[in-house]
Amino acid sequence: MPKTMEERAQSMGAINKYIHSSEYGGEKRVRIIRNNQAVFDDNLIIFARIETNQAVVDFSNFSYDFESKFFTRFNDRYQDFSYSNGDLYIEANDRRQQKIKIEILR
């Protein structure tokens, strides 16, 4: 479901803070939590950027197993982003439409 302009502005602000605090295309620890249990915990390459009318986070260097379970692109139109102390958090759904929380850690 698309987000409101206010929700998108908050998410874009979080991505903007993350971009200014990290290296573009840097390898980061990514943890994905579903039902309060870590279902993925490994390093991925993160590309966060602000494009015309949207903010985007792409994952790279993933396995087929990862891609079969999780999306590899997230944007502020559909996901909620938050930022805290160098870490970026994404609230989203996996490919089975189950709620997940993605933690991109420093």
Whole-number pLDDT of residue 34: 97
DSSP letter string over 24-37? TT-EEEEEEEETTE
Ordered by start, the domain boundaries in the chain are 5-105
Mean pLDDT computed over 56-62 = 92
Mean pLDDT computed over 20-47 = 93
Whole-number pLDDT of residue 104: 96
- CATH number attached to the domain at 5-105: 2.30.110
DSSP letter string over 59-76? EES--HHHHHHS-SEEET
Q: For the whole model, what pTM was predicted? A: 0.92
